[in-house]
Structure formats: C-alpha cells, structure tokens
C-alpha cells in the first residue's frame, strides 16, 4: 500500500511517499535534496499522517507527478534508486 503523508523528522516536517514492505519496514521518499528512497523501521509510522487536500486524501498520481518534476536535473535531482521507486509507485497508481 502506498500513501502520501506528512512526515515529522529531526530535519523538519516533509511531504513523503511511503510504501509498506513485507518485512514490516517502510520505504520512504521525502522532498529533500537529493530525492532518494530510503528504508526506515515500521515504528516510524507513528510520525506520519495522511496528507489531505480539501478534506480528501491527496491523489497519488498528483504526488508522483510533483516528485518527478522536482527530481529533474534542473531542480533537485533524483538518484537512480529514487527514480525506480517513483516508477514502481506510478505503476501501482496507474499514472
């Protein structure tokens, strides 16, 4: 299951794409330089809440497009693993 969340970290509050793994860990990509996917323990879920827009859950396809735009070389840049993660999520979302 993939979600768009607000993630409270030591570095601040960020928007993130989160995918739950079978191992109980979470695969997270936050909007921070450079865009890259990382794995965090499942216990970090307590620091996340779903992102909403006008009282409805934020659309995953819209978030994927924004992450792709930010990941372009002229903006923040994205690692190969990050690009692969976003493409996997896009396939799941059907965008």
d(CA 18, CA 28): 5
Put simply, whether the predicted model's pTM sits higher than 0.75 gets the answer yes
Average pLDDT of 66-86? 84
Percent of the chain at pLDDT above 70? Answer: 98
Query: Of the candidates 59, 50, 7, which has an alpha carbon nearest to the alpha carbon of residue 28?
Result: 7
């Amino acid at each position: 299951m993939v979600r768009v969340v607000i993630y409270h970290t030591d570095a601040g509050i960020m928007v993130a794409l989160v995918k739950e793994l079978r191992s109980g860990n979470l695969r997270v990509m936050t909007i921070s330089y450079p865009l890259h996917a990382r794995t965090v323990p499942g216990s970090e879920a307590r620091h996340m809440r779903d992102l909403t827009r006008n009282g409805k859950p934020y659309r995953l396809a819209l978030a994927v497009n924004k992450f792709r735009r930010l990941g372009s070389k002229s903006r923040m840049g994205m690692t190969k693993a990050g690009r692969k993660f976003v493409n996997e999520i896009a396939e799941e979302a059907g965008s």
